Amino acid sequence: MTIARDHLRADDLTLPQIADAVGYLFPFAAAFRRHHGEPPGTWRQRERTAARVLRSDVTAAHRPQRDLTEPGRAAGTAERSEPPPGIRPRRAPARGPAP
């Protein structure tokens, strides 16, 4: 079943082709379901979806960040911008004397 699982994950073989490759004829889907808890087609779809999500997360994590600083200004030294009109900046709460 491990070899069948690897074929499902990596290849575009049909289920009968995978069954033949691992030595099963007709009871392949039932045996796969008993071993993995779900039919081979469902398992393949879930694995491919998970791999696609994982690839997109890894790609996003390694995407270079844009430099949003002004030309001539070093990164990380941008001045604080003023809030839009009508919006007051948040202030830290005042602390009273300790009890």
Q: What is the mean pLDDT of residues 30-45?
A: 90
Give the Cα separation of 76 and 63 in Å (integer): 19
Residue 16 sits in a domain of what CATH number? 1.10.10.60
pLDDT band at residue 25 under the 50/70/90 scheme? confident
pLDDT band at residue 65 under the 50/70/90 scheme? low
Task: Give the chain's domain count.
Answer: 1
The pLDDT assigned to 13 comes to 87
The residue behind tokens 């009871």 is 27
Q: How much is the mean pLDDT over the chain?
A: 75
Q: What is the mean pLDDT of residues 67-73?
A: 56
**Structural domain that includes position 14:** 2-61
Q: Based on the number of CB atoms within 10 Å of its own CB, is 40 exposed (0-12), middle (13-18) or buried (19 or more)? A: buried
The pLDDT assigned to 94 comes to 67
Tell whether pTM > 0.75. no
